[in-house]
Amino acid sequence: MMPNDANVARMLENYRDIIGSFVTGEISADAFEADFLARFKRDPNQVVGDEFDVLDGLFADVDDYVSDPVLRKRTGGLSGEELRARARDVYVRLFEHRS
């Protein structure tokens, strides 16, 4: 990370619990969608950089999530399991590969 290590760490800490809870199945895709979107939109600690880009990509994935299978088929959105897989990748990139 760059000289703003503390700022990036503060930003990431806001997401560790929610992404982790979703990845492990503790919360549903619907609950994750609502909480993640609210956190991301109101996050005062966002720091431009690689880590933010990863979170922003997950924001787009969450926005593509469609819980209704009929609507999802029509719109081409993501299922809960597809969203969980993408969140798992983000969790690994942001939290498991950090020193």
The first and second tokens of residue 32, run together, are 């994750």
Domains of the chain and CATH, by start: 5-96 (1.20.120.650)
Angle at 10 between CA 84 and CA 54, to 5 degrees: 40
Closest listed residue to residue 12, CA positions, set 33, 40, 38, 35: 40
| Confidence (pTM) | 0.90
Average pLDDT over residues 72-86: 96
Q: For the segment 19-64, what is each residue's pLDDT rounded down to a tens digit?
A: 999 999 999 999 999 999 999 999 999 999 999 999 999 999 999 9
Q: Place 1 in a pLDDT band, splitting at 50, 70 and 90.
A: very low
Question: Torsion-angle region of residue 79: left (phi > 0), alpha (psi -120 to 50) or beta?
Answer: beta
